[in-house]
Copies of this chain bind each other. A is one copy, B any other.
């Protein structure tokens, strides 16, 4: 199998980040370097280029993934490098990896093989501290809430109705449901609460949707932290928390510039999970990249039903971003998985299973092309064990669906392996695109959720308990009905049952819980068993991650 991701990354010759920035025309005094190979680009500079014409935006999405992932980040990086190779001024925009999963099951999230962003260990670990700032801002607000109650509760906060949760960037199931404030009067009022992972937090969503410092502060002030006894919403602004939260986040809001192994510039900034949050890197990074490059390749997390749907209905709606083309990443492996094959048997050739599984791809393709009106190409992210017969069958299935599939070998070959994909993307992006949202702004929250479930997930209908229905109605009545819906759902299936592979139809989507994100300006609908705080597996990656005698980090995949 050759070298591991970290071995390839550690062997890479990086260019100084000042040179990468210089290639984009960013002056050195607009950079805040973090070491030699990472830098934040100042918001002041990015404001100064806001009037420039925009480049073309390419959205990379995927089929419903297997537990190993289908290489969406890898394809985003490979496509960026390939665009550079064929002579385009290209940039890549990606989410920052969450620390929790790095030490859990997933390992690193900075691409793979010869399509990675570097320095890989830094990006996977603390990077420039953005997630830490987001955690501190979230937890400071929590402390201010409990302190306000403890100090006399002038706002009359109902401790039973505090909805704000604390966060940590650790997979820690023991913190999902906790009781805080125990130990007597000096410690405040006991109440039930819980922790989410940082990437599921509203502050993360606000951070990724904000247009600048002023908008960030405004949105943080709008956060609803809970209710009084008579159900009046209490805002972060009421607690005078939003100024300090903004101070904590100020430096973090400047996008992080790094490079790919082939020196294509990359913004890696913000990182909400697509199954429990809106799933796209920061709007500021993508908007800025479009002023710096002619082609910007960005990724929306997990399958098109999750990340891409939120990219379109939440991010594009609020930010004005408009993609010119989409790439749908598929693998032979995932198609066999959706055709019903066990994970252990996936390496074995099985054309029939693959053909059964293509229903998953075709539904995503239909969503992207017909529902949203985006020109799309399927990128077959090639793996060494894929047989010619399997690849041919997958290409043929895509052609039968009226689209084009391109085999991409960037994992093994870097940008050179994705040149055909790059040419196809350039071709697709020539035509003007009229993006269509999944649902109109003025549909009710219930209608929005139902439209997503029916049009994107193939469901018959949505269901909810009386309590959840009442909560949705109350949010609608309180004036939050114009917000888009942010669905938290398993990434493994169009349904809420991760075992239901392929393209299930006729299922019901049950809304288990609803959370208002008034700062992010969306309503989260938690469907099925999805967790906003993951747990660690029986053999966590943390057990093998180490520092060797030379001070090198090892065991990070």
Interface members, chain A 152-199 (any B CB < 8 Å): 152, 166, 168-183, 186-189, 192, 194
**Chain A 5-43, CB within 8 Å of chain B: the 1/0 string?**
000000000000000000000000000111110000001
A543 within 8 A of B: yes
CB < 8 Å: which of B32, B34, B152, B187 contacts A176? B187
A35–B128 Cα gap in the complex (Å)? 11
CB < 8 Å: which of B125, B166, B168, B240 contacts A248? B125
The reply to whether A170 and B536 contact each other, CB–CB distance below 8 Å, is: no
A180 surroundings in chain B (CB, below 8 A): 174-175, 178
A174–B144 Cα gap in the complex (Å)? 10
CB < 8 Å: which of B99, B171, B182, B243 contacts A547? B243
**Chain A 95-133, CB within 8 Å of chain B: the 1/0 string?**
000010001000000000000000000100110110011
A34 surroundings in chain B (CB, below 8 A): 33-35
The reply to whether B247 and A538 contact each other, CB–CB distance below 8 Å, is: no
CB A13 to nearest CB in B, in angstroms, measures 15
A170 surroundings in chain B (CB, below 8 A): 136, 139-140, 142-143
Interface members, chain A 234-256 (any B CB < 8 Å): 240-241, 243-244, 246-248, 250-251
How many positions in chain A have a CB within 8 Å of any CB in the partner chain? 80
Chain A interface, DSSP helix/strand/loop, else mixed: mixed
Stretch of A201-209, A329-337, A549-557 that contacts chain B: A549-557
Q: Sorted from nearest, which 10 A-B pairs have the closest CB atoms?
A: A243-B546, A177-B183, A132-B132, A143-B172, A244-B542, A146-B174, A177-B182, A147-B536, A240-B543, A244-B545
Enumerate 17 A-B pairs (CB-CB under 8 Å) in ascending A order.
Answer: A32-B35, A33-B35, A33-B36, A34-B35, A44-B551, A103-B140, A128-B129, A144-B536, A144-B542, A146-B174, A152-B538, A168-B168, A173-B186, A174-B189, A176-B187, A179-B182, A241-B543
Q: A residues bordering B, Cβ < 8 Å?
A: 32-36, 43-44, 99, 103, 122, 125-126, 128-129, 132-133, 135-136, 139-140, 142-144, 146-147, 150-152, 166, 168-183, 186-189, 192, 194, 213-214, 217, 240-241, 243-244, 246-248, 250-251, 535-538, 540-547, 549, 551, 553, 555-556
